[in-house]
Structure 1
Amino acid sequence: MLGHLILALFLIQQAGSVDLQQAQEAFQMGRYSQAREKLRQALERDPRSPTLWSYLGLTDAQLNDLDAAIADFQKALSFAPDNAQTHFDLGLLYRRTGNSQKALEMYQRGLRLSPDDPAANQNYALLLMETGKFREAIAPLQKLLGLGTPSLSVRVALIESYLKGGMNDEGKREIQGFLQAPNATMADQLKLVKVLIEDKQPEQAQFILEHVVKVSPDSAEAHAQLGLLLATKDQYEAAVQEMGRAVRLAPESAEYSMRLAEILILWKRYPTALEFLAAVKNRFGRLVEYQYKLGLAYYGLPRIPQAITVFDKLAREHPDLDLVQFFLGNCYQTTGDYEKAEPHYKRAIELNPQQGSYYAALAQLLRKASKDRTEEALTYLEKALLLDPQDIQSKLELGLCYEKKSNYPRAQSLLEEVVQQQPDLVPAHVALARVYYRQKKKEAGDREKSIVGRLEAEQQARKLQSERPADLP
């Protein structure tokens, strides 16, 4: 629209009319209402001028009177139907009003008149992507590249359109071309990674990151991003190697060190996490995140008294950290001190009432504490499931509450949902076996008991593996 504005101003300057000159001055100074009034006066003298109607459309758009602006440009189009820019301006306005179909129609008409307009091709492609028409967006994006517009945003949009349009082979080829382009910097490649991750394309993001760390092995940022991506895919061993490399390359980075500790904890390599945290204590030991990770490592071992010491100090110094309150509650519940655990869970809920797992943990405590508090536990579980109807822990706790109330059919239904959603959750199978037996369903109970035995053996094998310290890279 800016190019059209400049053209309109140029034509007005040539006209020499006092009204037009005053309209121009008012527009340039942001006095759009005054400019509109002068333009309307000019149109009374020359009502068939497409330029005046277009300029009035620009002015109405500045006043956010989009319906009037559209009417103005439609009037301009009636007098100059072959003006491509007017079609493009209408496309922009229809897009602003949310009328994507009309916007697409205007761009299509305009591009038939002026197929090589870079801005129009770009806006048309973006609109197609916004409306989910990724395959159709490919042609205008390719046109932009052919017009010599090889910007990062265009290449990224083309890759995204290929992948989201189901054209994975073409997307991979475009990524290869992007990586081999002589003007593609590492920063550009990492920006593309970010876009791909946001678009839920982790495999393509990993492909690029592996290329980057290969050609730039001393890039701490690339190794760190690859480590984080691998961790989201539960590939913890490889993630530790990459994040460890980032830590060695940038030992002063608190972010990389804390992410390495986090991945070790997610991997359940608690001894190694403690060893690493001890090694970086002098550099990062005063950080809140360091103390939090230290508490998590102690909790995972489990060395509960040490975890309580760390979390309690954090809670006193930073009383508004809901996760600290939550894990303090977990620690006290683990020791059987339900009286101390309860206020910490309630404080966590107060700080973050949208976190369903907090309600589930409190409900578990209430169920264990007393049969008389089962109804209270059910209330908290209903809140948790309102926040997340698929939350496994809440469903499990709800099933256990109904078991405690001797409502075995309801408990069975919930527990069967849980084991279907998470087949390796041992406590759910244990509870389901109990519920079957109490309903005299011996065959089903025996089946669950057998599953429990197999899962516990697998857990023990993993536990022995996790107790062996992992080698820090």
Structure 2
Amino acid sequence: MLRLSKLKWIALICGCSLWGGAQIMPLRPVLAVEKQATLRMVVLPFRNLSTGETQEWLGESFAESLTTVLSQRPQLALIERSQLNQILREQGFGQSALADEKQAPRLGRMLGARKILVGSYQKEGERLLVQARVVDAETGQIEAGQAVRVEGSLDQIFALQTALAEQFLVRLGIVANAQERQELEKSLQVCHSSKVYAQYQQAQILLRLMSDKPLREGIRLLESALAQEPDFVEAHIALSEAYSQRARMKRFLASASEDDLPRALFHAQEALKRGKHLDAVYRATARAWQVEKKGAEALAAIRKSLQLQPGDTDSLIAYLEIASGQDLSLDQILAELKQYQTREDDPWVQFSLASILFRHLRQQTDPDYSQVRLMFNQIRAQLPQLAYVPLKQAEVALLSGDQPGGLAFLKEALALEPDNYLLYAFAGISLIKTSQYHPLAESWLKKSVELNPDFGFNLAFLGLLALQEKKLDLAREYLLKAREIVPESAAIPTFLGLVAMQQEAYPEATAYLLTALENHGKIQGETIERGSILNSLSVLALIQKKPDEAIAYAREALTSPDLAPGKALEHLLKVYLDLDRVSEARAAFQEATSQPGHALSEAEKQWHAWIYLREELQKRPNDIAVLNDLGGLALKEQDSEAAEKYLNQARYLAPENAAVAFNLGLLNMQMKNWSEAQTLLEEVLKHDPDHRKAAYNLAKVYFKLGQNETSRQILLKLLAQDPHDQLVLKALEALEKKP
């Protein structure tokens, strides 16, 4: 490989997968687990019909208590609140959607529920009237005979919850005996004081908002609840998870403290001492270890949680997140999931597993997407209303080279959720690498901005699209607007760095990329690769003639866990060879590939050939065969600049060499210099009339020059020599179709 020019390095970086398929905002699949049940239900938070003083926490309280009770019945499969929250985030709903009963069937269908339990409450003085009913997810109709009503004083909240749960069990044909009713009442009374319970529920509502001020207030309420009732286990668990969450997000939460992680572990231990809800305690502990990047401890803790409560949705989600970050293969994860009573026929389980498999496949050099395509097809049949399934199908199709199929899936997803700004953003970015669809991508991204101008990333995607189209000033304008909205993003300054690189503003590009490196990891779900940022900084260092800095960045990228090792090694080798440091390239290659049992991939074989030929060139700089082979390698990689350098040098040394002339003919075809290609290939055939490849390519050149009959005669002659040559047959077919 020859020393690359500035523009060539920029083209390599701007053409790489810094953004290709990357999800800038999280699109984590929801995992649901049915407990061998026939009826799948979801309980929505109850609506507040009171005037004047409000008690919003009561709506969450009634929904949570009913979910807890009903989920213990083997006849039912309850969709948990964590799943409901996830679908609200992914579908772009606000929490206000829960207060609108018209949305209930839609939410139910997206969650795969057959029945939705909705309710309301009204407070008058100290009296509380509670009503609830069951709605059919398909028809939106209220189920006859399945409405209940209870009333009582607010300080008897636990008795009201028990009465409500008992009545629903009866309506559903599930009769509890005296002992079961006693256990039911005991399980619902999680603390002694209704005031403390109100603080706990209010905190839970605040913690779901996932921003600094509500998180701080939620923690304050939980601390207050525990000050009054130190044995309130659920509050200890919630506080442990809240501190863990704040520790995970400490880079961009002003209230975060170095004490958050120790406090998370302290409250987990306090809950553990009391021996109640140990599955949730171990899950909270796992989350805390996850923050401290102690993967083995986190994995051990979440396994204990699942051993105590197999099939628990929250714990399974945590397990998948933690296990996929460890050195576990997909087969190992699947085998372990079977131990935890996960039902493989559940579409939500399959959605999670298919997404994990998809992520693994995308890191491979030559992936086979057939299995994951089949999985998403099966999920689609079971969850026809979930827009994110066709979105995933579109990703698979586009990565498989099926652009029309991918476009069709994207349109199906948008038809399911025509007002979802996230879907428009993801659909638009999915088409960014296909230039013929750029106008459509732009219209979808602008629709996303129209639906939510404060999202920020939709503007960033518009900037990226403008960058792809070389509209650099427009790209900068969009990206600067996006940065004002999402200043902690790593992706946006990365894209600004790419714009500055193309404008040859190299110090400015370096500053943007260093900011991206500093911001990396601040936004959960923003999957821009740290290794790719480092590689871009490496290129900038090369362009600015800072070779040691370029190598340092490239070597650091090699240790970055988010960048596929093959991509990182490829970049490092390019840097070494560009600097003519061939021996160091050899050492880096051997270090990366010399492990026992390691079989070289096709890409690694290619790089081995590059290094070997460059070593030979150092020994014999005028060797025609070595120069021609280097030119041939560059041709395979469509690196016309390198191919031209080596092949012209070989041509100068051996102007009559047919092998060099043939490769130069191919190079001119690649560069669409058809007349020059014709001259070179005719020269090859003059020296060797039986050179089949030269004749076939010359026929293609004549076709491009409009000399169809000459092209046809060459192809017919080749076909007579080998009637089964598929390339020749296809070329003749294309020729026949041309008017």
Q: 1:381 aligns with which of 479, 494, 510?
A: 479
Alpha-carbon deviations, 1:118-168, whole Å to 9, x = none?
759969x989997859999877544xx4xxxxx544654786799959367
Q: 1:230 aligns with which of 307, 310, 322?
A: 322
Residues 189 and 341 (structure 1), Cα distance of their counterparts in 2 relative to 1, 3 Å cut: same
Give the 3-state SS of the residue equivalent to 1:293 in structure 2: helix
Q: 1:458 aligns with which of 536, 546, 565?
A: 565
Residues 235 and 412 (structure 1), Cα distance of their counterparts in 2 relative to 1, 3 Å cut: same
Q: 1:432 aligns with which of 537, 546, 558?
A: 537
Q: 1:214 aligns with which of 283, 307, 324?
A: 307
Give the 3-state SS of the residue equivalent to 2:435 in structure 1: coil
Whole-angstrom CA distance in 2 between matches of 1:301 and 1:197? 37
Whole-angstrom CA distance in 2 between matches of 1:235 and 1:274? 25
Q: Aligned pair count?
A: 336
Q: What code does the residue aligned with 2:502 have?
A: K
Whole-angstrom CA distance in 2 between matches of 1:165 and 1:212? 20
Task: Determine the structure 1 residue equivalent to 2:272.
Answer: 176
Structure 2: segments with no counterpart, 5+ residues? 1-50, 52-124, 126-191, 204-215, 245-259, 521-527, 571-597, 602-739
Task: Determine the structure 2 residue equivalent to 1:342.
Answer: 442
TM-score with structure 1 length normalisation? Answer: 0.54
Residues 235 and 385 (structure 1), Cα distance of their counterparts in 2 relative to 1, 3 Å cut: farther
Task: Determine the structure 2 residue equivalent to 1:359.
Answer: 459
Please give the residue correspondences for 1:41-190 in structure 2 after superposition, counting only pairs within 5 Å: 141-142=229-230, 145=231, 152-153=233-234, 156=237, 166=262, 171=267, 173-178=269-274, 181=275, 184=276, 188-189=277-278
C-alpha contact 1:419 1:428 (8 A) present in aligned 2: yes
Structure 1: segments with no counterpart, 5+ residues? 1-29, 31-61, 63-117, 146-150, 468-473
Task: Determine the structure 2 residue equivalent to 1:294.
Answer: 393
Task: Determine the structure 1 residue equivalent to 2:143.
Answer: none
* Distance apart, 1:417 and its partner CA: 3.0
Whole-angstrom CA distance in 2 between matches of 1:268 and 1:135? 45
Task: Determine the structure 2 residue equivalent to 1:256.
Answer: 349
* Distance apart, 1:398 and its partner CA: 0.9
Q: What code does the residue aligned with 2:352 have?
A: R
Give the 3-state SS of the residue equivalent to 1:391 in structure 2: coil
C-alpha contact 2:222 2:235 (8 A) present in aligned 1: no
Worse-matched range after superposition: 308-317 or 272-281: 272-281
Please give the residue correspondences for 1:272-291 in structure 2 after superposition, counting only pairs within 5 Å: 272-284=371-383, 287-291=386-390
Q: 1:398 aligns with which of 496, 505, 508?
A: 496
Alpha-carbon deviations, 1:218-238, whole Å to 9, x = none?
x36476344355368577757
Alpha-carbon deviations, 1:260-283, whole Å to 9, x = none?
333333444673432422454543
Whole-angstrom CA distance in 1 between matches of 2:420 and 2:223? 46
Residues 223 and 251 (structure 1), Cα distance of their counterparts in 2 relative to 1, 3 Å cut: farther
* Distance apart, 1:255 and its partner CA: 2.9
Residues 325 and 247 (structure 1), Cα distance of their counterparts in 2 relative to 1, 3 Å cut: farther
Alpha-carbon deviations, 1:34-88, whole Å to 9, x = none?
xxxxxxxxxxxxxxxxxxxxxxxxxxxx9xxxxxxxxxxxxxxxxxxxxxxxxxx
Alpha-carbon deviations, 1:16-39, whole Å to 9, x = none?
xxxxxxxxxxxxxx9xxxxxxxxx
Task: Determine the structure 2 residue equivalent to 1:46.
Answer: none
C-alpha contact 2:236 2:268 (8 A) present in aligned 1: no
C-alpha contact 2:464 2:475 (8 A) present in aligned 1: yes
Worse-matched range after superposition: 389-398 or 282-291: 282-291
**What do you get for the CA RMSD once the two structures are aligned?**
5.2
C-alpha contact 2:287 2:298 (8 A) present in aligned 1: no
Residues 294 and 242 (structure 1), Cα distance of their counterparts in 2 relative to 1, 3 Å cut: farther
Worse-matched range after superposition: 391-400 or 323-332: 323-332
C-alpha contact 1:392 1:421 (8 A) present in aligned 2: yes
Give the 3-state SS of the residue equivalent to 1:334 in structure 2: coil
Task: Determine the structure 2 residue equivalent to 1:265.
Answer: 358
Residues 168 and 312 (structure 1), Cα distance of their counterparts in 2 relative to 1, 3 Å cut: closer
Task: Determine the structure 1 residue equivalent to 2:707.
Answer: none
* Distance apart, 1:395 and its partner CA: 0.5
Whole-angstrom CA distance in 2 between matches of 1:452 and 1:201? 23
Alpha-carbon deviations, 1:91-140, whole Å to 9, x = none?
xxxxxxxxxxxxxxxxxxxxxxxxxxx759969x9899978599998775
Residues 132 and 236 (structure 1), Cα distance of their counterparts in 2 relative to 1, 3 Å cut: farther
User: Normalized per residue, which structure has more strand?
Assistant: 2
Q: What code does the residue aligned with 2:460 have?
A: A
Residues 350 and 205 (structure 1), Cα distance of their counterparts in 2 relative to 1, 3 Å cut: farther
Q: What code does the residue aligned with 2:540 have?
A: V
Task: Determine the structure 1 residue equivalent to 2:549.
Answer: 444
Task: Determine the structure 1 residue equivalent to 2:513.
Answer: 415
C-alpha contact 1:322 1:348 (8 A) present in aligned 2: yes
Task: Determine the structure 2 residue equivalent to 1:110.
Answer: none
Worse-matched range after superposition: 241-250 or 272-281: 241-250
Identity %, equivalent residues = 17
Give the 3-state SS of the residue equivalent to 1:312 in structure 2: helix
C-alpha contact 1:378 1:401 (8 A) present in aligned 2: yes
> Whose relative contact order is higher, 1 or 2, with alpha carbons under 8 Å and at least 6 apart?
2
Whole-angstrom CA distance in 2 between matches of 1:162 and 1:379? 38
Q: What code does the residue aligned with 2:410 have?
A: F
Give the 3-state SS of the residue equivalent to 2:389 in structure 1: helix
* Distance apart, 1:366 and its partner CA: 0.9
* Distance apart, 1:394 and its partner CA: 0.9
Q: 1:312 aligns with which of 401, 411, 433?
A: 411
C-alpha contact 1:247 1:253 (8 A) present in aligned 2: no
Task: Determine the structure 2 residue equivalent to 1:36.
Answer: none
C-alpha contact 2:302 2:319 (8 A) present in aligned 1: no
Whole-angstrom CA distance in 2 between matches of 1:328 and 1:129? 37
C-alpha contact 1:206 1:229 (8 A) present in aligned 2: no
